[in-house]
Amino acid sequence: MLNYLIRRIVWMIPMLIGISLISFFIMHLAPGDITSTEAAFDPKSSEESRQKLRELYHLDKPVIVQYGLWLERMVHLDFGHSFASHQKPVFWAETDKDGNTTPGMIQEALPVTLLMNLVGLFLTLTLAVPLGVIAAKKYGRWPDRSITLFNFIGFSIPGFWLSLLLMYWLGVIHPWFPISGLHSLNYAQLDAWQKCQDLFMHLFLPVVIPAITGLAGVTMFVKNGMLDVLSQDFVITARAKGLSDRTVTYRHALRNALLPLITLVGLSLPGLIGGSVIAETIFAIPGMGKLFYDAVMMRDFPVIMGILTIGSALTLMGNLLADLAYAWADPRLRRGVMPQG
């Protein structure tokens, strides 16, 4: 087991280097750099100052040299400073000699996105599993049909449109929820309980709407898995033993049907830190999606690479965790992966 783990983790290093190399070159395939996006068409700026900037950021060197410089910094876990945002540290806070701290860009954006997506994923799963089970149990009858219909509606509605409609309904006509933003303006004056409430109210729409639109896929996945399992021999055996319908469904069938869900959740891990540009833009939430989008548009290379590196590291970790979870959940796999165990 331990050997396996170490092997996997060691293997992640060349994979990360490969990923970063490919990302770095793809990033540089896009025309332009920071000097063509920032103040580039302002007649008060001059080509000489842009050239100076290019030299300072080593943008005038060949891509492979730039990659080398980047890799050298990464070895020291230095993610560098943003080009576009006043040299803010890309990843984590830095303190200058006077004791003033400048927060890191990813450090500020990541917790928001993680919180939103984890709650969203949790919500999706807690709704999708029961709905999928019901749909499978009542296959072809009205509960199944109405769940399917609901799913297709949720799946087909453009998220941004639903968001705007609900923002209008629940924010303007009935002002129950804040329309956009993450904190109220008087957040700092609130006590701890009110702060939680404030955050909950602000996050309600941005979390619930993607959860509804994302529900369809997972529900169908659970439903089909259930249908497959329910028609297998061991379920018939279980029923023949005289077990109650409840025990058969939840103890025998569901546990098997949920196995593929581990893959699905594992695959969604990179998405957890990715965030959604559209939702974050509409709801004015400063998360990872907006950060990455703006960085790409500004050709802010250190930020792009920082997010991609952390993202791919987390993705590899997610894959590893999913594999481990599989091994834990499925004894057949455990034996296949680890013959000695």
Partner 1 sequence: MTNRCMTNRRLTRMHPICTKQYASIGQQLIIGMLCSALLACSADSPDQNTAALNQPYPAQTGGTLISAMPSDPSGMIGMVAGESASLAIGAYLFNSLLTFNQDLDLAGELAESWQVADDKNTITFKLKPGLQWADGKPLTSADVLFTWQLIIDEKTHSPYASDYQLVTKAEAPDAHTFIVHYAQPFAPALESWAHLQVLPKHKLAGQDIHTTSFAQKPLGSHYYQLKEWRHGEYLKLERNPKSVLGPANIDSVVERIIPDPAAQFLELMADNIDSMTLDPITYARIIPSRPALQAKLNQYKELGNSYTYLGFNLKRKPFDDVRVRKAINYAIDKQEIIDGVYLGLGIAIASPYKPGTRWSNPDLTPYPFDPAKAKQLLAEAGYVDSNGDGIVERDGKELSFEVLTNLGNKQREKTAVIIQRRLKEVGIETRIRTLEWASLLTNFIKPGDFDAVVMGWGLSLDPDQYSIWHSSQQGPGQFNFIGYNNPAVDKLLEQGRIEFDPEKRMQIYHDFAKVLYEDSPLVYLSAGYGLTAIHKRVQGIMNPVPPAGVGYDSHKWYLPEPLRRTQIQAE
Q: Which of residues 173-232 bind partner 1 (CB under 8 A)?
A: 173, 175, 178-183, 185-186, 188-189
Q: Where are the alpha helices (DSSP H) in the chain?
A: 2-29, 34-37, 47-56, 63-75, 105-137, 142-156, 159-167, 192-230, 233-240, 245-247, 254-257, 259-274, 277-282, 288-298, 301-329, 331-337
Of the candidate residues 7, 75, 77, 98, the single one contacting partner 1 (CB under 8 A): 98
283 binds partner 1 (CB under 8 A): yes
Q: Which of 45, 66 has the CB closer to partner 1? A: 45
Of the candidate residues 6, 26, 165, 196, the single one contacting partner 1 (CB under 8 A): 165
Binders of partner 1 in range 25-64 (CB under 8 A): 30-33, 36-50, 52-53, 56
Binders of partner 1 in range 223-282 (CB under 8 A): 277-278, 281-282
Span near partner 1 by CB under 8 A; candidates 59-67, 164-172, 232-240, 242-250: 164-172
Q: Which of 36, 247 has the CB closer to partner 1? A: 36
The Cα 279–Cα 286 span in angstroms is 10
Span near partner 1 by CB under 8 A; candidates 61-69, 206-214, 238-246, 291-299: 291-299
Q: Report the DSSP pairing between strands 101-102 and 94-95.
A: antiparallel
Least CB distance to partner 1 at residue 100 (A):
3
Question: Long-range contact list for 307-312, CB < 8 A, 24+ apart?
Answer: 307/106, 308/19, 308/20, 308/23, 309/16, 309/19, 309/20, 309/23, 309/74, 309/79, 310/91, 310/106, 310/273, 311/270, 311/273, 311/274, 312/16, 312/19, 312/20, 312/23, 312/270
Binders of partner 1 in range 301-340 (CB under 8 A): none
Of the candidate residues 4, 139, 155, 160, the single one contacting partner 1 (CB under 8 A): 160
- Torsions phi, psi for 208 (to 5 deg): -70, -40
Q: Which of 189, 340 has the CB closer to partner 1? A: 189
- Rg (C-alpha) for the chain, rounded Å, is 25
Q: Would you state the structure tokens that stand for residue 172, as one six-digit string?
A: 């303007």
Least CB distance to partner 1 at residue 167 (A):
5
Q: Which of 170, 325 has the CB closer to partner 1? A: 170
Q: Which of 109, 322 has the CB closer to partner 1? A: 109
Q: Would you state the structure tokens that stand for residue 57, as one six-digit string?
A: 């950021």
Span near partner 1 by CB under 8 A; candidates 138-146, 161-169, 304-312, 330-338: 161-169
Q: Is 40 helix (H, G, I), strand (E, B) or coil?
A: coil
Least CB distance to partner 1 at residue 192 (A):
17
Q: Which of 122, 168 has the CB closer to partner 1? A: 168
The Cα 75–Cα 53 span in angstroms is 25
